[in-house]
Amino acid sequence: MRKNSGALGTVPFVALGLAWLLIPMLTKIPPYALPTPGEVIGRLYSGVVDGSLPKDVLASLRRLLLGFCIGNGLAIPLGIAIALNRRVSDLLRPLLTFLASIGGIAWVPLAVVWLGVGSGAVLFVIANQIFFGSIYNTVTGVETIPRVLRRAVLSNGARGTQMLWELIVPGALAQIIVGLRTSMAYGWRALVAAEMIAGTNGIGFRMMEAVKWYQTDTIVLGMIVIGVLWLVLDALLFSRLERATVVRWGLLRETA
Amino acid sequence: MAALPAEAGAGSVAASKITIRGLSIDYVSEDGRARHRALEDLSLEVRENEFLSVVGPSGCGKSTLIAAIAGFLRPRSGSLLLDGKPIGGPGADRGVVFQEYALLPWRTVLDNVTLGLRLRGMPRSERDRIGRQFLEMINLVEAADKYPHQLSGGMKQRVAVARTLANQPEVMLMDEPFAAVDAQSRMTLQEELVRIWSQSRLTVLFVTHSVEEAVFLGDRVAVLTPGPGRLKAMIDIDIPRRQRRWAELGNNLLFATLRQRVLDLVRGAGTPP
Ligand SMILES: Nc1ncnc2c1ncn2[C@@H]1O[C@H](COP(=O)(O)OP(=O)(O)O)[C@@H](O)[C@H]1O
Ligand SMILES: [Mg+2]
């Protein structure tokens, strides 16, 4: 359908790379403030060779995946319950609004006190962030299922949990996928930040460690890895999921 | 055929399938303060195996009537009976065809047609076989694996009719099903519906704002007053089924007379017989 859009999308990246090459030659930025592409590639190479980079990437990804499963595992069922049941909605909405305002990172101090510096605290923070990035999408998704579809399914004899699988989940899926996607994007950012403050390993932790030694090449490499990993995750998971479901059903035109 | 229920009036020719007595329905606003009366004291009988058209101006409560019989709305007062028993919630015994088609976008055409069979737990092979028969009936076998968004409006509505029929309801409730379809397809759909109905002899309640459509399709035509809807008149359409083709009815005098009579009633000029 849109095979060539990938090519156009690389143009800004090339421009950015060129600017990066040229800026040190044209300005007086000190070398320790902006490493050259060569230095960053060198750091990438040594990180891969000594195994430290894959280790950090894996630590971060595993945490992200776990936080993603926990956060969405709670958010999606709860979101459905809120959308379907007035009582549940009345009971929980004020609390959720209150908690949502306390962004993921604001939980770091308490998470550290409760769980200590390390994986537990980081996981808590990102699961929290992912939960709130996702839940309202599910609620909206269920609430905007056309009434006439609900009626059609009921008149065909559906009852109880049949409504859930025949109507609610597929009907809300386009919006649920938006929730999965945004929540993972939020979670990814919160993860790196939380690792910087409360981590003992992972990409964010490694970048913060590098500050002590002015290793800007490690820092820039970390930033690039964060961005590239996200591009890959997004293309691999969500774009595929969309194409297999909501795009195929005509509920969504193919996007990014 | 079911025994004549005790409620049926002495003049009834056939058993009453749906009996509506003194039906009033209000829409109440979210805060419960504003009420809007959509139907008022409506009494109507749909006979077993008949095709009853209900015609009335837009806003007179036709969709409300369908929704009430389907069990989506609760009456404020009056009674709604199916085979003499009060109608509770929605159920597969009353199939509904909606103006908006209401096909599930995430299901293929075949899986839409077999929705009711699937909900009953019928095994895949069996329900697909039945589903294909119904697709044959509406000449859409080749679209079995397509998704609804790949179909035209007329095709979607044929699929919706097939879905309702495949589930073998006792009555089929149709809410302006052809209103959103282009004029050419509409005439074809109307003729197809006559053909299908003649074969199945299902009880049909067909609601429309089009006088022509109501007269073309119905054994009888019920005319509703502008909102809140009440029954204004009931007209018998004594045109044989096999003559119900547009090519034939175009210069049929009886059709023209009946159409004019119903039109006068809808527009307020005619007096109830
Ligand atoms: N959900 C609703 N809330 C409030 N009023 C409604 C609602 N649905 C319909 N109405 C009103 O009830 C009346 C009858 O509506 P409807 O049954 O849809 O008429 P029709 O199908 O004949 O056009 C109209 O005046 C309409 O505005
Ligand atoms: Mg209507």
CA distance A241 to B214: 46
Residue A157 and residue B116 in contact, taking contact as beta carbons nearer than 8 Å? yes
For chain A, the domains span: 60-231
With an 8 Å Cβ cutoff, are B115 and A155 in contact? Answer: no
Residue A82 and residue A88 in contact, taking contact as beta carbons nearer than 8 Å? yes
With an 8 Å Cβ cutoff, are B149 and A146 in contact? Answer: no
ipTM of the complex: 0.90
Residue B169 has pLDDT above 90, yes or no: yes
For chain B, the domains span: 14-93+173-185+203-273
Residue among B103, B61, B114 nearest A152 (CA): B103
Between A131 and A23, name the one with better pLDDT: A131
Query: What's the CATH number of domain B14-93+173-185+203-273, 3.40.190.10, 3.40.140.10, 3.90.650.10, 3.40.50.300?
Result: 3.40.50.300
Residue A103 has pLDDT above 80, yes or no: no
pLDDT in tens, B190-222: 999 999 999 888 999 999 999 999 999 999 999
Which residue among B92, B106, B147 sits closest to A157, beta carbon to beta carbon? Answer: B92
Which residues are within 8 A (CB) of A118 and not within 5 positions of it... i.e. 6 or more apart? A198, A199, A200
The b/e string for A82-105 (b: 16+ C-beta within 10 A; e otherwise) is bbeeeeeeeebeeebeeeeeeebb
Within 88-147 of B, beta carbons closer than 8 Å to A belong to 89-92, 94-96, 98, 100, 102-106, 115-116, 119-120, 147
Backbone angles phi and psi of A90, in degrees to 5: -60, -35
Residue B103 and residue B140 in contact, taking contact as beta carbons nearer than 8 Å? no
Residue range B265-271: mean pLDDT, rounded? 76
Residue range B164-185: mean pLDDT, rounded? 94
- pLDDT-wise least confident of A129-143, A212-226, B82-96, B208-222: A212-226
Task: Kindly state if the Cβ of B163 falls inside 6 Å of ligand 1.
Answer: no
With an 8 Å Cβ cutoff, are A148 and B100 in contact? Answer: yes
pLDDT in tens, A53-62: 999 999 999 9
pLDDT in tens, B76-113: 999 999 999 999 999 999 999 999 999 999 999 999 99
Residue A40 has pLDDT above 60, yes or no: yes
Look at residue B1 in the predicted model and tell me its pLDDT: 41
Within 57-76 of B, beta carbons closer than 8 Å to A belong to 67, 70-72
Question: Which listed ligand is nearest to B62 at the C-alpha?
Answer: 1
Between B14 and B127, name the one with better pLDDT: B127
Instruction: Give me chain B's average pLDDT, please.
Output: 91
Task: Kindly state if the Cβ of B58 falls inside 6 Å of ligand 1.
Answer: yes
pLDDT in tens, A150-191: 999 999 999 889 999 999 999 999 999 999 999 999 999 888
Q: Does domain A60-231 have CATH number 2.30.30.90?
A: no
Residue B9 has pLDDT above 50, yes or no: no
Look at residue B239 in the predicted model and tell me its pLDDT: 93
